[in-house]
Structure 1
Amino acid sequence: MESSTMTQNKVEVHFVLIPLMAQGHLLPMVDVGRLLARRNNVKVTILTTPLNAVRVQASIDREIQRGSSSPINIQHFRFPNVEVGLPEGCETLDTIPSMDLRLNFAKAAFLLQKPIEEAIEKLVSPTTPICIIYDKHVPVVSEIAKKFKVPRITFDGSNCLSLLCNRLLYNSKVAENLSPSDSLFVPGFPHRIEFKKYQLPDLFSQNIGQDMIRDLRDKMWKDEEEAYGVIVNSFDELEEEYAKEYTRVTGGKVWCIGPVSLSNKDAMDKAQRGKLDSKEVQEGVYLKWLDSWPARCVIYACFGSLDDLRPGVLMELGLGLEASKKPFIWVLRDARKVEEMNKLLKENGLEERVKGRGLIIRGWVPQLLILSHKSIGLFVTHCGWNSTLEGICTGVPLVTFPLFSDQFYNDKLVVELMKTGVRVGVESSVYFGVEGKFRDQVKEAIEKAMGEEDEESERIRERARDYGEKANRAMEKGGSSYLNLSLMIEDIKQLVKCRVEDDGSKAKP
């Protein structure tokens, strides 16, 4: 592998990556940057705020130490938190002190043009053309790209199915006059796929009164149409049909280059992805506990933050894990309702009853490290795309409990199209008040996915293993995602070369 210094003089295109300031968007974008840096004759710069940079600097440093084929670095811009009423030091969506401040964070996204523009201006070079790859939820980048006359590619943190469903629903306006509980079929989708209106992302499912949010979504779709293309964290063997249909509907280019989390190969990459240090990881606490169990027998359960679910509902999920009689890891992420959740756990006595068989973790966990352990046999998930795809990569079945946004899309993909998962049975978005007793449904879903003498259970597990193997092959040299990334890089090199030559010819007398 060539060193960064050797290749720096041969750089043909400089990829500038701009992620959304949120953990679930930042980490896969950094993985994309690392994958690009492993290719020859490019340069990679990740633009983000100082506190977000801290989260991923160790990952970038390790990439450099390994001797990446091309240079990669992080540059900072200032986040306007004070101007929109956010506390000093609040630079990421998942650390805002109250969910009531989400609109403030959205306002900040519209104020990023000047700081990002100033950062990119320092990167512009007459000898090395720039291509911007940016999260579609950072709305100001399109205008910046136009100003500097550089191509831009959007990065979609979801999958091709979500892209296609959203585009078809947006174009058809079919959901506009429906009540929240009404059902609809996505018009023009390759398969018959049905949703309740309240299961759809915010723009479709709620009568949003904030004009700013609607303006943001409309601008986002307009920007997608005008961008050179979109890269998606997925792989052809899973979604090639939806990628092709999205291209047909929009006329834009689509490159499936994932699962990008598989760029994290060694234990240190997996352990520190998004976290600088963890005493439990350093001491091997989680791995020692997992090592004590046979292969494919442990349930890993992570349902998103406590802000997504009422503690009483989350407690039902825990009671379902207990009732399964299986060993499990249950993750309760840091959030504002943690005290209420801890109180419920103490009053119920669940933690004491499952001691030894159940490991309850509060806060951050090295999810990639845990999921890739041989003892994990099932993933109970809220169906965020990052988590869903990470589960697919490990080849284990999923038990699905979607909450909002694109999560109901991902639930459909896993349960009805891939047929590698079992649905708990919750139908309404968390915003419409998920309530009820779910412990029996959780237990039954686990039994259906892990049944030892059930033919359908074995077919679910067999299909899950097959998709896991396909996901890993896609990222290997010569695999579909590896080749798609190569095609994207070469496409951009040719595009910027033509633009440079065209500008040069226009400058001649």
Structure 2
Amino acid sequence: MSENHPHVLILPYPAQGHMLPLLDFTHQLVNNGVAITILVTPKNLPILDHLLSRNPSIKTLVLPFPSHPSIPAGVENVKDLPASGFRSMMYNLGKLRDPILEWFRNHPSPPSTIISDMLLGFTHEIATQLGIRRVWSVGPVLPPGEDDVSGQSNRGGSSSVLTSEILAWLDKCEDHSVVYVCFGSQAVLTNKQMEELAIALDKSGVKFILSAKRALKGHASNDYGVIPSWFEEKVAGRGLVVRDWSPQVLILKHQAIGAFLTHCGWNSTLESLIAGVPMLTWPMGADQFANANLLVDEHEVAIRACEGAQTVPNSDELAKLLAEAVQGNNVEERRLRASELRKVAINGIKEGGNSFKDLAAFVKHLREEATKIEV
């Protein structure tokens, strides 16, 4: 590509919490004059619809999904697998190395840079064979600043409740009175965990939105993801249950949300902070424990609710924490600290902010690398 339009290949890992922030970063690169090709497998192509509709210059490289004995036929995203599926997916995607190399060698103007998810370790082998230098660690990246309800609502899939219905329900609630409960796009609660959570939400007396993921292939459906049969009728009017995907960014930005019970995944953490919403933490794996400590101990914008992927909370204790999250003595202090962090985050992505300047420096580097290849 020309000096003004360096060509970059984007390699996302097929998990909602990984793809969406990388696509947000891709959007920022396009806005800075970078030519983009995104690699996806066929069933993940619809996830790009919103980005491609806004940026028709983006190209796609669609490669067939390799088969794997631990991944059911037709499944190409870990959102359709239990947590144990991450390892199989990481191994399986390594089979794309040779087709990617072939594409590079046959392309009339191949990318000078690869931007890859950290779980796609084979990318380093590709870069080595092609003579592509440095590893850059970039992020975190906040979503583009937009209030487009249609765009934000369908970013990660379908929902059992229309976004317009969710927002209309929130519009009827008092400011900071609702607890939003969600454990990300991958975690599925055991039935016992779900039962204790349901009892706690009932006992707490708070208004809430519960985003609950169904059991996945590989889960014993009788043991995971079942909401107690009595629950929805008993909390009708005070609580709203959303199955599968929920428009989390829009929910968190609504003035009715007072607290967020979260697994502390980094996307959820950032989205809550940028919305200025205090949190209740229930980390379950990976970096989530460190994130929870950061939120509770260092920034004091959260309180601990539970910890561990298999831990069953005590419903009485959790009910008390849920009530305190929106009505307790220290609510205003946490809300004030969350508001201060929100200002810091927003200033970072504004012109002149740290994130803004880092992005500009990265794009400058891409242009310099593209120029070297031309020479």
| TM-score (normalised: structure 1) | 0.68
- 1:438 aligned onto 2:314: yes
Question: What secondary structure, in the 3-state scheme, does the structure 2 residue paired with 1:229 have?
Answer: coil
Distance 1:375 1:91 in 2: 36
Task: From 268, 276, 280, give the equivalent of 2:150.
Answer: 268
Structure 2: how far apart are the matches of 1:123 and 1:264? 35
For residues 105 and 19 of structure 2, the distance between their equivalents in structure 1, rounded to whole angstroms, comes to 22
In structure 2, the partner of 1:219 is none
Instruction: Output the CA distance in 1 between the equivalents of 2:256 and 2:359.
Output: 32
Whole-Å Cα distance in 1 between the matches of residues 372 and 224 of structure 2?
58
Matched residue SS, 1:27: helix
Aligned-residue offset at 1:79: 1.8
With over 3 angstroms needed to count, the CA separation of the structure-2 counterparts of 1:442 and 1:91, relative to structure 1, is same
Alpha-carbon contact 2:32-2:363 (below 8 Å) kept: no
Quick check: which one's helix share is greater? 1
2:361 alignment partner, one of 465, 487, 492: 487
Q: In the alignment, does 2:2 pair up with 1:95?
A: no
Q: C-alpha distance in 1, partners of 2:185/2:159?
A: 19
Q: Once the 2 structures are TM-superposed, how far is the Cα of residue 264 of structure 1 from its aligned partner?
A: 4.5
Q: How does 1:96-495 map to 2 (within 5 A)?
A: 96=81, 101-123=85-107, 125=109, 130-151=112-133, 227-233=134-140, 258-259=141-142, 261-275=143-157, 280-281=161-162, 284-304=164-184, 308-336=188-216, 345-346=228-229, 349-426=230-307, 429-430=308-309, 433-435=310-312, 437-451=313-327, 454=329, 456-495=330-369
| Alpha-carbon distance between aligned partners in 1 of 2:197 and 2:64, rounded to the nearest angstrom | 40
Structure showing greater radius of gyration is: 1
Shift in Å at residue 498 of structure 1?
3.9
The change in CA–CA distance for 1:344 and 1:79 in structure 2 (over 3 A counts) is: closer
Return the alpha-carbon distance in structure 2 between the equivalents of residues 288 and 362 of structure 1.
Answer: 17
1:334–1:364 Cα contact (<8 Å) kept: no
Amino acid at match of 1:272: N
Q: Contact 1:299 / 1:326 at 8 angstroms: preserved in 2? A: yes
CA distance, structure 2, for counterparts of residue 477 and residue 463 of structure 1 = 24
- Would the aligned equivalents of 2:2 and 2:370 in 1 still touch at CA under 8 Å? no
- What is the rounded CA distance, in whole Å, between the counterparts of 1:418 and 1:388 in structure 2? 12
Distance 1:265 1:147, change over 3 A: farther
Which position in structure 2 is the counterpart of 1:39? Answer: 32
Q: 1:175: which partner in 2?
A: none
Q: Distance in 2 between matches of 1:280 and 1:308?
A: 19
Q: Which has the higher contact order (CA 8 A, sep 6+)?
A: 2
3-state SS, counterpart of residue 132 of structure 1: strand
Q: Identical aligned pairs, as a percentage?
A: 29
The superposition leaves residues 442-470 of structure 1 with CA deviations (integer Å, 9 ceiling, x where unpaired) of 23333443235x2x332111000111122
**Cα deviation, residue 385, structure 1:** 1.0
Aligned residue type for 1:381: T
Amino acid at match of 2:314: F
Q: Is the 8 A contact 2:79 2:186 kept in 1?
A: no
- Give SS of 2:75's match: coil
Between the aligned partners of 1:74 and 1:296, the Cα distance in structure 2 is 42
2: CA distance, partners of 1:350 / 1:280: 17
Q: Report the secondary structure of 1:378's partner residue.
A: strand
C-alpha deviation, 1:418, in angstroms: 1.2
SS in 1 for 2:321: helix
Q: 1:482 to 1:421 in 2, by over 3 A?
A: same
Q: Report if the CA contact (8 A) 1:37-1:43 is conserved.
A: yes
- Which residue in the other structure is 1:211 paired with? none
1:139 Cα shift? 1.5
> What CA distance in whole angstroms lies between the structure 2 residues aligned with 1:361 and 1:104?
29
The question of whether the paired residues in 2 share the 8 Å contact of 1:392 and 1:464 is answered with yes
Q: How many aligned residue pairs are there?
A: 372
CA drift of 1:307 comes to: 5.3
* Cα distance in structure 2, aligned partners of 1:442 and 1:106: 36
Where structure 1 has 5 or more consecutive residues not aligned to the other structure, the ranges are 1-7, 65-70, 152-226, 234-257, 502-509
- Deviation string 1:297-339 (CA, Å, 9 cap, x unpaired) is 1111012468543211122122222222111001111323666
In the alignment, what sits opposite 1:180? none
Letter in 1 for 2:151: D
Q: Let me know the Cα RMSD of the aligned residues.
A: 2.5
> In 2 relative to 1, CA 279–90 (structure 1 residues): closer, same or farther, beyond 3 Å?
closer
Change (3 A) 1:495 1:101: closer
Q: Give 1:341 deviation, angstroms.
A: 6.0
The one-letter code matched in structure 2 to 1:404 is: G
What secondary structure, in the 3-state scheme, does the structure 1 residue paired with 2:8 have?
strand
Asked if the contact 1:59–1:273 (Cα under 8 Å) also holds between the matched residues in 2, the reply is no
Rate the CA distance shift 1:474–1:100 in 2: closer, same or farther, 3 A. Answer: closer
Instruction: Report the AA paired with residue 98 of structure 2.
Output: K
